């Protein structure tokens, strides 16, 4: 089985107008190095499918994604991990596709960053969404830039600074989720079929680029700066390493506030 098939299930649906990408590493569907390479490989193949308007992201099993690999946040791996994760978002922007997320169960950390970057988020009633990075002594660069756009500054600040999770209805009320449905994937497919499938894929690509033109310019410039802040400053602190090691050891962290 090749890497992409092991980490990501792909299907082309609705007469070639939608590509369904399922994160396929139950139970957590972690966005580790292999998963990110597989996703970027699938994105690079989109040029071979000119009729595609939409990418739909899902998670295999009960959960969407528990986030990025905590092990890969350790100092010896974090630069490579963070660079690869942020490169994934550059590939998503370059794809010029409408991005949909169908969320079931837990959608946390890097998984929420992926979902929140999408144009529309569909969630099941049991979905729980959050960025718990601060509880591990770190922060979420992508979420720090994307959540204020989706939710407004106050609601985004609460999630980013407390690390708490929202249930589906709380997330919908806050603007993080667009629709709550018994079957979020079916709801996403129906929305695409009604609103996007009748459109020109070529013209829609230009519209996707234009709709986010100003945001993406600011987003990627700021993301580069936050990546350096994370690697050069945060990861030199005691508490960042302590939080990650405590999580891996399944113990409470001992903060030194430095």
191-226, pLDDT tens digit by residue? 999 999 999 999 999 999 999 999 999 999 999 999
Can you read off the two tokens belonging to residue 184? Answer: 């979020």
Those residues with Cβ within 8 angstroms of residue 168's Cβ, 6 or more apart along the chain or in another chain: 123, 124, 125, 126, 127, 128, 129, 177, 180
**What's CA 70's distance to the chain center, in Å?**
15
How many angstroms separate the CA atoms of 201 and 215, rounded? 22
Residues 162-167: contacts with CB within 8 Å, 24+ apart? Answer: 162/134, 163/130, 163/131, 163/132, 163/133, 163/134, 163/135, 164/130, 164/132, 165/108, 165/128, 165/129, 165/130, 165/132, 166/128, 166/129, 166/130, 167/127, 167/128
Task: Provide the pLDDT for residue 6.
Answer: 79
Q: What was the pLDDT predicted at 196?
A: 98
Q: What residues contact residue 40 under an 8 Å CB cut-off, 6+ apart?
A: 84, 87, 88, 91
Q: How many residues does the chain have?
A: 258
Beta strands in the chain (DSSP E): 8-13, 18-23, 54-59, 98-103, 106-108, 120-123, 128-130, 165-167, 179-180
Q: What is the pLDDT of residues 51-97, one digit of tens each?
A: 999 999 999 999 999 999 999 999 899 999 999 999 999 999 999 99
Which pLDDT belongs to residue 47?
Answer: 85
Q: How far apart are CA 53 and CA 119, in angstroms?
A: 12
Percent of the chain with pLDDT over 70: 98
**3 state SS of 212:** coil
Q: Is the pLDDT of residue 157 over 60?
A: yes
Q: How confident is the model over 27-38, as a mean pLDDT? A: 93
Residue 167 is predicted with a pLDDT of: 98
Give the H/E segment covering residue 137: none
Q: Which domains does the chain have, with CATH numbers?
A: 3-183 (3.90.226.10)
Q: Which among 58, 240, 32 has a CA at the least distance from the CA of 133?
A: 240
Is residue 27 pLDDT above 90, yes or no?
no
CA-based torsion, 35, 107, 244, 226: positive or negative: positive
What is the value of pTM for the model shown? 0.96
pLDDT average, residue stretch 155-177? 98
Q: How far is CA 102 from CA 15, 65, 111, 159, in A?
A: 20, 11, 11, 20
Kindly state the tokens that stand for 96: 């010029």
pLDDT band at 26 (very low <50, low <70, confident <90, very high): confident
Higher pLDDT, residue 20 or 2? 20
| pLDDT, position 1 | 44
Amino acid 2: pLDDT: 53
| Structure tokens that stand for 169 in this block | 């209805």
Closest CA to 93 of 129, 43, 56, 141: 43
């Amino acid at each position: 089985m090749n890497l992409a098939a092991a980490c990501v299930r792909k299907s082309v649906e609705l007469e070639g107008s939608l590509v369904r990408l399922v994160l396929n590493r139950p139970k957590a569907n972690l966005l580790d190095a292999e998963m990110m390479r597989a996703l970027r490989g699938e994105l690079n193949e989109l040029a071979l499918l000119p009729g595609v308007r939409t990418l739909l992201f899902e998670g295999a099993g009960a959960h969407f994604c528990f986030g990025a690999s905590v092990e890969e946040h350790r100092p010896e791996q974090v630069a490579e991990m963070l660079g690869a994760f942020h490169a994934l978002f550059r590939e998503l922007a370059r794809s010029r596709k409408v991005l949909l997320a169908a969320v079931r169960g837990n959608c946390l950390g890097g998984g929420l960053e992926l979902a929140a970057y999408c144009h529309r988020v569909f969630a099941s009633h049991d979905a729980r969404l959050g960025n718990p990075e601060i509880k591990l002594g770190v922060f979420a660069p992508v979420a720090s830039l994307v959540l204020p756009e989706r939710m407004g500054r106050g609601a985004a600040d609460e999630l980013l600074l407390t690390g708490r999770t929202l249930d589906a209805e709380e997330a919908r009320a806050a603007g993080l989720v667009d629709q709550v449905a018994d079957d979020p994937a079916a709801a996403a497919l129906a929305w695409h079929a009604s609103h996007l499938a009748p459109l020109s894929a070529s013209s829609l690509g230009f519209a996707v680029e234009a709709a986010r033109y100003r945001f993406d310019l600011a987003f990627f410039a700021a993301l580069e700066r936050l990546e350096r802040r994370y690697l050069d400053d945060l990861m030199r602190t005691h508490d960042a390493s302590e939080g990650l090691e405590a999580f891996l050891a399944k113990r409470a962290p001992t903060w030194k506030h430095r």
